[in-house]
Amino acid sequence: MLDLPWNHDFALTRKYPVFVLDPILPDIGKIALSMTSFVDSLEFKHGKGTRFVLVPRDGVRVRIVEHEALLHVHFTNAYDDGDDVVVELPRLETDWEKLRLMTGMVNRTDLGIPEYPDSTLMQFRITKDGRIIENQVSDRSGEFPQFDWRRGTRRHRYTYFAGKGGPARLFNSVVKVDTETGATTSCDLGPSSVGEPLFVPRGRDAAEDDGWLLALNHQLDEDRSQLVVFDAKDLDRGPLATAWLEHHIPWGFHGTFNRRIATPEAPVPTPEQVL
């Protein structure tokens, strides 16, 4: 078996692309012979541990820091803090087989209802001398973390994600965590399955968290999907607006927002304006 971990996501700081490579390895023989699906060809090798890989943008030597085995899928954000690098991600509190089974349900109708794994929102600090310091940000379980994209590659304060709960243990709420104080607010959407909440600033110069959260939600008792809009500062209030579709949208992963779609005549922003 090749030492070629499967990787789904990565993060950026001003100095580094950051990869957190869990020991999830493909069985090349199974893939080559088309013996099974790609997900089912993956194996978790706990003894190999997780590697934090920092790839300097200036082309100097790559830094690799070994750590005990983790299981994760997505990042929130990453940033440089002096000579340290801080990475935030939801650490999944489950074993690989349960996650693999859940992932395999996406395009299947005969495997039952997926039970999303528990998770812990964590920050990992990679120090100059090669240590990794863990900090728990929140114990509220969820996935698909988001933040104010204007803070990309820089320290952010607020993290938004789809929260797990309810009798079906699906992602049925939108959650906000203040990473400085640990304060958590949320909105429970009832019998539903919600996707990642996207932050849209109120204006170009608006402060972090001053804007709206947009989320696509499948309302299970209606079997229809809806776009729900929240005031990011007042999530407890519930949706400010709801746009219903006449049908459901199949379970998906990621959304995006670009104000140029709404105003196509707007000029393409420069990298300085985006950051």
Predicted local distance difference test score (pLDDT) of residue 272: 61
pLDDT tens digits for 46-75? 999 999 999 999 988 999 999 999 999 999
Indicate if the pLDDT at residue 275 is higher than 50: no
pLDDT of residue 100: 82
Which range (25-29, 49-53, 109-113, 251-255) has the least confidence?
109-113
- What percent of the chain has a predicted confidence (pLDDT) above 70? 90
Phi, psi of 213 (to 5 degrees): -115, 130
Strand-pair partners of 125: 86, 133
Determine the pLDDT at residue 113.
62
Q: What mean pLDDT comes out for the span 6-11?
A: 94
Output the pTM of the full model: 0.90
Residue 135 binned pLDDT confidence (cut-offs 50, 70, 90): very high
Cα-Cα-Cα-Cα torsion 42, 44, 49, 51, nearest 10 degrees, comes to: 20
Q: Poorest-confidence range of 11-15, 137-141, 256-260?
A: 256-260
pLDDT at 1: 47
Q: Is pLDDT of 111 > 60?
A: no
Residue 197 and residue 160 in contact, taking contact as beta carbons nearer than 8 Å = yes
**Residue 209 and residue 69: Cα distance in Å, rounded?**
33
Residue 18 has a pLDDT of 98
Whether the predicted pLDDT of 274 surpasses 80: no
Sorted by sequence, the CB contacts under 8 Å of residue 122 that are 6+ apart come out as 88, 89, 90, 91, 134, 135, 136, 137
Q: What is the mean pLDDT of the chain?
A: 89
- Answer whether residue 28 shows pLDDT above 90: no
Give the per-residue pLDDT at 265. 78
Q: Which residue pairs from 168-175 have beta carbons closer than 8 angstroms and sit at least 24 positions apart in sequence?
A: 168/113, 168/220, 169/115, 169/116, 170/114, 170/116, 171/116, 171/142, 171/143, 171/144, 171/195, 173/142, 174/213, 174/215, 174/228, 174/230, 174/235, 175/140, 175/142, 175/235
Q: What residue has token string 């909440």?
A: 197
Quick: pLDDT tens for 177-234: 999 999 999 999 999 889 999 999 999 899 999 999 999 999 988 889 999 999 999 9
